[in-house]
């Protein structure tokens, strides 16, 4: 075999290994708060904003904090180093990506799912027919 084929094949194998490792490190699993608290991993947790607890935004430190409840009714304080998402109080549900540290979810990203103004009520549709 020619040396350039051997070198080209070795370079291709190195790139494939690097790509596989980076894909494995970038995956974040959906879980609940109990698992997130025990695992220490970076995870995604779906839940809801606990409106009774309120939320705060410190503009000096650019820090947003609130309390969330997951689908198993586990409650945790969430701190996000960043601005408050638009329409946060109107969100039907939220997804927090981050890691639990000392009993507090340190969020990297917060995604909100707001009610759609385009979804019609089923009763309204039946009455129009």
pLDDT at residue number 31? 86
Of the chain, the percentage scoring pLDDT greater than 90 comes to: 33
Domain CATH for 75: 2.40.50.140
The per-residue pLDDT of the chain, averaged, comes to 84
Q: Tell whether 16 is covered by a domain.
A: no
- Per-residue pLDDT tens digits for 28-38: 778 888 888 88
Provide the b/e sequence for 28-53 (b: ≥16 CB within 10 Å).
Answer: eeebbbebbbeeeebbbbbbebbeee
Domain count, the chain: 1
Average pLDDT over residues 37-62: 89
- Residue 74's domain spans which residues? 28-113
């Amino acid at each position: 075999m020619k040396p350039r084929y051997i070198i080209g094949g070795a370079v291709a194998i190195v790139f494939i290994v690097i790509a596989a490792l980076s894909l494995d490190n970038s995956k974040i699993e959906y879980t609940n708060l109990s698992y997130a608290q025990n695992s220490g991993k970076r995870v995604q947790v779906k839940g809801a904003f606990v409106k009774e607890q309120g939320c705060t935004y410190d503009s000096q430190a650019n820090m947003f904090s609130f309390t969330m409840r997951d689908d198993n009714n586990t409650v945790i304080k969430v701190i996000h180093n960043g601005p408050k998402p638009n329409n946060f109080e109107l969100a039907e549900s939220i997804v927090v990506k981050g890691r639990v540290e000392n009993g507090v979810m340190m969020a990297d990203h917060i995604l909100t799912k707001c009610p759609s103004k385009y979804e019609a009520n089923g009763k309204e549709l039946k009455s129009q027919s």
